[in-house]
Amino acid sequence: MAPPPSPGASTGPTQQQQQQQQSNSKIDPNILRRSNPLSGIASSGIGGKQHQYTLDSFEIGRKLGKGKFGRVYCVREKSSGYICALKAMEKKELIEFKVETQFRREVEIQSNLRHPNILRMYGHFHDAKRVYLIIEYVAHGELFKVLRRESRFSEVKASKYISQMADALSYLHKKHIIHRDIKPENILLGMDGNIKIADFGWSVHAPTSRRTTMCGTLDYLPPEMVEARDHDYRVDIWSLGVLAYEFIVGNPPFEESGHAATYKRISKVDLRIPSFVSVEAADLIKRLLQHDQDKRMPLKDVQQHPWILKNKPFWDTV
């Protein structure tokens, strides 16, 4: 079977892309062929079995999505019949945009994670032009699209998702990993109704040091990033509060038409909770969205919050 088409092949190149193409043409094909930014990163293999994969190991199905540096396909591994997803990344784009180090860090982190609410990465391989990631297939795709379709989630459904997120983030933090880009677009929804955190592009392994890089998505940035202060794992706790609000209300809590206005509301924690939000849900959101990092509710306490306990008996219905 032919390899997946190159990203951007279906549309005409922009002037910037043409310039990049001319620059890319200078890259020695032999260098590209040998290049493997993931060299040395172990693969667990599908079903835990080590295997030397190539593109011919898979039957390529429909395209699931497209990112900045690659496309994702639904595939079937021929020897086992296992359905998974295959992400194809162009080597020359990784080189041109100077994201090889960030890409390698993302794969190193995700390859070592084993949690029911975190997207599993089974392995990787490369050929002359591309690097391929073998990842878990999640049937319903981005939670963002589901949320937009439903406008907002019931508090039963929202509490289930927030509980799962809190558990997954707690697992990451115990491994000294900060995700730094929690948002509905980076969460996937499985056939079983459970969610999985994906996209570890901004994640970092930080056992001790505080971080200074401003990263993530505007509506989910915490005050310490907006105010150019150091941050730590508690940026993810803030993001969980923003997520809870967006699940229940349908839009982020500090959303404004301009960046400056959004920054201002985040810095002031100008939180306006609609009257239809339950007292228990509002309480959890307020406890997570604290300007002072030290005052944010610890993730271990989220599971025992009255809002979670109140809705937990009904989770099987959503």
Q: Which residues are catalytic?
A: 181
Residue 87 counted as an annotated binding residue: yes
90 in Cβ contact with 4 (< 8 Å): no
CA 228 to CA 244: how far, in whole Å? 25
Q: Establish whether 268 is an annotated binding residue.
A: no
213 to 177, 198, 224, 291, 308: CA distances (angstroms): 15, 20, 11, 18, 33
Is 301 annotated in a binding site? The answer is: no
**CA 83 – CA 51 distance, rounded (Å):** 16
Q: What one-character-per-residue DSSP string does 117-160 give?
A: TB--EEEEEE-SSEEEEEE---TT-BHHHHHHHHSS--HHHHHH
Residues near 94 by beta carbon (within 8 Å), at least 6 away in sequence = 37, 69, 100, 103, 131
Residues 139 and 142: their CA atoms lie apart, in Å, by 9
| Cα 281 from chain centre | 24
How far is it, in rounded angstroms, from Cα 206 to Cα 179?
11
Paired with 307 in beta bridges are: none
26 in a known ligand binding site: no
Q: How far apart are CA 261 and CA 270, in angstroms?
A: 11
User: What angle is formed at CA 177 by the lines to CA 175 and CA 179, rounded to 5 degrees?
Assistant: 140
91 annotated as belonging to a binding site for a ligand: no
DSSP 3-state of 308: helix
- Summarize the annotated binding site for ATP as residue ranges: 68, 87, 185-186, 199
- Summarize the annotated binding site as residue ranges: 68, 87, 185-186, 199
